[in-house]
Amino acid sequence: MWVRMLRPSISFLGVMTVLLGLCYPAAMAALAMGLFPHAAHGSLVFRDGHAIGSSLIGQSFTGAGYFWGRPSATSPQPFNGMASGGSNLGPLNPALADAVRANVRALRDADPGEHRPVPVELATASASGLDPDLSVAGVAYQVPRVARARGLSQEALQAIVDAHTRSRLFGFVGERTVNVLEINLALDSMSRVR
């Protein structure tokens, strides 16, 4: 008797495995590649025919002439997509305060004349550790340093920032953002043209 009850269960498991484990993912992947090929292939950014990053994953920039992204708490290196996650340090953990102080000190050392408050996103890591974007305030804080290092006026650099600023979703959801990789590549392209 139990064999008669077991047979439909095993059959149902097999059918659902094929449908939901193979057919559905294959159909969704094909649909994504047809409708959104750039995103479906990782939103890769190419230069001179070589993939140099993704517009969805932050990268570590440390030079004075580059905009720096949000700190990353991934290990063993920053912006490690295989180890996405935050530091998991609570607000009362002294290690979090030490990390924030170190991030603020690095920004102050890179631009000793800057006395404005450091935007919180430049001092703390995100939950994923992979954020590719900064808020307009996070980019604006760095404009004087990048302009000096690149030999540009702040107004000229701000025009480039404005051209790479993404508006809010549907005009009211979220904040305006700037993709750090894309703006740094635009600055490098501008330098190569000169």
Structure-derived torsion over alpha carbons of residues 6, 10, 12, 13, reported in degrees to the nearest 10: 140
Give Cα 49 to chain centroid, integer Å: 22
pLDDT value, residue 65: 93
pLDDT value, residue 106: 93
Please give the C-alpha separations between residue 157 and each of 85, 98, 116, 143, 146, in angstroms, as whole numbers: 33, 32, 19, 7, 8
Mean pLDDT of the chain: 90
pTM, two decimals, is 0.79
When pLDDT is averaged across residues 134-159 and rounded to a whole number, the result is: 94
Q: Is the pLDDT assigned to residue 156 strictly greater than 80?
A: yes
Q: Is the pLDDT assigned to residue 12 strictly greater than 90?
A: yes
Other residues' Cβ atoms within 10 Å of the Cβ of residue 173? 7
pLDDT in tens, 22-51: 999 999 999 999 999 988 888 888 888 898
Give dist(CA 115, CA 104) in Å, integer: 11
Q: Are 108 and 116 in contact (CB under 8 A)?
A: no
Give dist(CA 41, CA 33) in Å, integer: 8
Output the six-digit token pair for 184.
Answer: 């740094």
pLDDT value, residue 48: 86
Helical segments of the chain, H only: 2-18, 24-35, 37-40, 94-110, 120-123, 136-150, 154-163, 180-193
In percent, how much of the chain has pLDDT > 70? 97
pLDDT value, residue 194: 45
CB pairs under 8 A, 24+ apart, for 94-99?
99/71, 99/73, 99/124, 99/125
pLDDT in tens, 85-115: 777 888 899 999 999 999 999 999 999 989 9
Q: Is the pLDDT assigned to residue 127 strictly greater than 50?
A: yes
Can you state the angle between helices 136-150 and 180-193, rounded to 10 degrees? 20
